[in-house]
């Protein structure tokens, strides 16, 4: 089965190719396509809406099975912030350091101490006439200061309590085995193995 992963991120593509290797899938990503199309705006209010919106958009354009993912960090004590705004929490175009700083400032202003948080990832699969959603979550806490040099995004602030380390202190294999994204794609791989 040919499957298009709606991403331009080579790092993500490599990770997901490995996760789907055993599922009998030939995986393509947007840079493999002969004709390029502008990315859709992620206007959804939830991760599910954004993942579906992207998968349908590219499926309508390329007419082949498509997967698209959306993920982010949720802090329940902050009413779910940063949530779907994770990539642009400190403003459109903000970098990881600015987003992390905004999160720490917000937590401090609300006088919270190491609040509980979770990462959530949703993968949408859209084929002719069908759509399916797969999700994964990973629960932990937000630390008082960044720790570790690996990973990206909020990794230095997200502590997996049972391992006493942040995502940024883990190697990529350990992170994939416990992460929201790893779980969501493992669930997709299980489904694909059944239908391919």
Binding residues (CB under 6 A) for ligand IMP: these are 69-73, 86-87, 99, 119, 151-155, 167, 179, 181
Question: Between residues 69 and 81, which has the closer beta carbon with respect to ligand IMP?
Answer: 69
Token pair listed for 154: 């909020």
Q: C-alpha dihedral over 190, 159, 170, 133, to 10 degrees?
A: 20
**Does the CA dihedral 21-22-23-24 come out positive or negative?**
positive
Question: Between residues 35 and 45, which has the closer beta carbon with respect to ligand IMP?
Answer: 45
- Minimum CB separation of residue 37 from ligand IMP in Å reads 18
Q: Which of 69, 70, 96, 113 is catalytic?
A: 70
Cα 166 to Cα 117: distance, rounded to the nearest angstrom: 12
- Minimum CB separation of residue 128 from ligand IMP in Å reads 25
Distances (CA, A) of 37 to 12, 46, 54, 192: 19, 24, 12, 26
Is 155 a known active-site residue?
no
- Minimum CB separation of residue 185 from ligand IMP in Å reads 11
- Minimum CB separation of residue 86 from ligand IMP in Å reads 3
Contact 80, 89 (CB under 8 A): no
**Does the CA dihedral 82-132-29-33 come out positive or negative?**
negative
Question: Between residues 23 and 119, which has the closer beta carbon with respect to ligand IMP?
Answer: 119
Question: Between residues 146 and 153, which has the closer beta carbon with respect to ligand IMP?
Answer: 153
Q: Would you name the residues annotated as active-site residues?
A: 70
């Amino acid at each position: 089965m040919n499957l298009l992963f709606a991403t331009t991120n080579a790092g993500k593509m490599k990770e997901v190719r490995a996760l789907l290797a055993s599922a009998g899938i030939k995986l393509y990503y947007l840079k493999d396509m002969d004709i390029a199309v502008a990315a859709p705006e992620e206007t959804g209010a939830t991760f599910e809406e954004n993942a579906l919106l992207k998968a349908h958009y590219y499926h309508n354009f390329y007419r082949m099975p498509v997967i698209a993912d959306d993920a982010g960090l949720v802090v329940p004590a902050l009413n779910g912030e940063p949530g779907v705004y994770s990539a642009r929490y400190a403003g459109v175009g903000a970098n990881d350091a600015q987003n992390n700083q905004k999160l720490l400032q917000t937590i401090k202003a609300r006088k919270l101490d190491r609040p509980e948080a979770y990462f959530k990832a949703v993968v949408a699969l859209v084929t002719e006439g069908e759509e399916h959603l797969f999700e994964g979550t990973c629960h932990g806490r937000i630390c008082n200061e960044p720790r570790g040099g690996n990973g990206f995004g909020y990794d230095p602030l997200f502590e997996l309590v049972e391992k006493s380390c942040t995502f940024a202190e883990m190697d990529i294999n350990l992170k994939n085995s416990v992460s929201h994204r790893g779980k969501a794609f493992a669930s997709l791989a299980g489904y694909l193995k059944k239908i391919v």
